[in-house]
Structure 1
């Protein structure tokens, strides 16, 4: 049977008010968990290759400050690079801060999240549509990025908040944002347990179709490049069991030099 090209999956995006509530909630959980980390905990490995928990916390701090800077320049009608010093500056800042002690990490992360959330709370309704340099988007896009960073990297810290805790609306947002990871010529037909099916991919003549069944949070974890925590995913193509297909890299916001 020839597959027709499906319409792109499109999640219903949260309103600015709901997004801010999501950010407040996610930031609260991240700070609560970060407050439990000792110096030794921060030197321990995270779920990310070659990164300790200290690297993850330093990265979250850097992202929060970068997005605050985007907001602060945008309300003045200006744009600025996402990271001071570009990708190299980002990497250097993470390496420098990764070895900090627990008290310093918590102080810096608390300050960075308070800064960006205060900036976003102060926006007028139309302020969320002010242009920023991040992905050539608007502040609202930056808010979605912060939501992704907080929820996903909290799971990377491996502190009992894995992908199985991701809310359904967050999972749907990830499928929308990460459609770019599906290679050309591949259709992914997701069949989440107890929920409506959906398709990602461009299709076209000769497209390969792979059916992926399982629990929604495991699907979201896989498309986000994380290990599905409930081990529920099963893939099938042409009525045969197959391995999950390889996906393209995460769509980077800042290209390395």
Structure 2
């Protein structure tokens, strides 16, 4: 089972990094475009706050969001707030998530996320870590994929590679990082395509970030197109 205690510590550290960096912005910068099309930096901070609340719901046995429409409306409602309001909300909601996650509970139980997706409760802290780390990158404030902790990058590559495993629309693909680590994804069977490059580049491709894998090297075929996250 995943070490949720370790992951909760990582969530705290990642949240502190994000809040420290975001505190250097001003209201005008907050209203500026992020790396996510159609979202300002304010949208990202609003999403991070509401995601923390949503994961509290998950751990306490309630639906993650009332509905997809309600989730989107909450983000849109909160996106235009001042920097002070945004930072306070991100901090308070993160503290709320940590308080619930620190309480004694059965971490081996199955919980329900969005759209009927289920997972072990012990994986919820890592899912929160993914939100904080990748959206810190999405803020476009000087924190890039290359700045992500090495352990996080490797785990997120493995998670996303597993997400596309067994998908017939993605050719069987071997992933090789320049440091020798390997993963596989896509359809069953022996890999027909090999994708190679730095771990940050592999993550960019799998997560649809940065150059989306344009700098990677492929053998056996073109860089496979991946379904939307």
Normalising by structure 1, we get a TM-score of 0.79
In structure 2, stretches of 5+ residues that fail to align are none
Instruction: From 173, 192, 205, give the equivalent of 1:222.
Output: 205
- In structure 2, the residue matched to 1:163 is 145
Cα distance in 2 between the residues matched to 1:137 and 1:190: 25
Cα distance in 2 between the residues matched to 1:234 and 1:128: 40
1:181 offset after TM fit, Å?
3.2
Contact 1:193 1:214 in 2 (8 A): yes
1:171 offset after TM fit, Å?
2.2
Cα distance in 2 between the residues matched to 1:174 and 1:21: 17
Cα distance in 2 between the residues matched to 1:235 and 1:131: 38
Cα distance in 2 between the residues matched to 1:14 and 1:160: 30
1:52 paired with 2:37, answer no
1:129 paired with 2:108, answer yes
Instruction: From 37, 53, 58, give the equivalent of 1:70.
Output: 58
Cα distance in 2 between the residues matched to 1:19 and 1:208: 32
Normalising by structure 2, we get a TM-score of 0.88
1:199 offset after TM fit, Å?
2.1
Contact 2:18 2:136 in 1 (8 A): yes
1:208 offset after TM fit, Å?
6.6
- In structure 1, the residue matched to 2:71 is 90
Q: Which has the larger radius of gyration?
A: 1
1:178-197 equivalence runs, <5 A = 178=160, 179-181=162-164, 183-184=167-168, 186-197=171-182
1:146 paired with 2:128, answer yes
Contact 2:205 2:212 in 1 (8 A): no
Give the aligned CA root-mean-square deviation in angstroms.
2.2
Cα distance in 1 between the residues matched to 2:148 and 2:212: 11
1:102 offset after TM fit, Å?
0.7
1:107 paired with 2:61, answer no
- In structure 2, the residue matched to 1:212 is 195
1:61 paired with 2:49, answer yes
Q: C-alpha offsets along residues 229-254 of structure 1, whole Å, 9 cap, x if unaligned?
A: 997411221xxxx542210121xxxx
Instruction: From 234, 239, 244, give the equivalent of 2:217.
Output: 234
In structure 1, stretches of 5+ residues that fail to align are 1-12, 74-78, 251-257
Cα distance in 2 between the residues matched to 1:243 and 1:227: 18
Contact 1:163 1:229 in 2 (8 A): no
Cα distance in 2 between the residues matched to 1:101 and 1:151: 22
